[in-house]
Each structure stands twice: as structure tokens, then as C-alpha cells.
Amino acid sequence: MSKLTPSQIEKALQNLPDWKLENEKLRKTYEFEDFVAAMGFVIEVAQLAEEVGHHPDIDIRYNKVILALTTRDEGGVTERDVRLAREIEEM
């Protein structure tokens, strides 16, 4: 699984609303009604991440959750990150 090229990432982002490429990571900020709703989302993401064996960085800021996806071994975004982003969108 190798690092995607900028144009491959750009293409993948077309089908990933509000995901952005920042510092070699796919990043999205989700906003919820409150902390409890945000935590519900985090728990769901965590279960999915554990199932697929790929774990996003997760930052919780009260009702906001920032996810960041990268493949450390490749030093950037791979198909694995794109796939997990898609799966999170489909949750």
C-alpha cells in the first residue's frame, strides 16, 4: 500500500465531503449537538477503527470531533485512509 499522489488524493476527496488534506493527513471536523452526541460518534468510529485495524487521530473539543487519517508507515495518505474515511461517512 503506497502513498497516493496529490492528484489521486484530490480525486478521492471529491467523494468525501468536508474532508481536507492537511500535513499529509485527511482531516475532517464533525460538529454535534453536545458532548454526549460527540462521544457517541467517537465510540462508533473507535469500534470501526478497531475492526479494520486502522486508527485515526481523534481530537474531542466538547461538541466537536476532529478526525485525522494517515498511514505512518508510508508517511502520508494511502488507499487505506481513503477507505476508512469512506466507511466513517457511511456509518
The residues that touch its own copies, with contacts defined as CB under 8 A, are 35-36, 39, 42-43, 46, 49-50, 55, 57-62
Closest distance of CB 18 from its own copies, Å? 20
Closest distance of CB 49 from its own copies, Å? 7
Q: Which is nearer to its own copies, 12 or 45 (CB)?
A: 45
Q: Are 84 and 52 in contact (CB under 8 A)?
A: yes
Q: Which is nearer to its own copies, 12 or 38 (CB)?
A: 38
Instruction: Name residues whose C-beta falls within 8 Å of residue 27's C-beta, 6 or more positions apart in sequence.
Output: 19, 20, 21, 66, 67, 68, 69
User: Which cell numbers hold the place of 29?
Assistant: 471536523
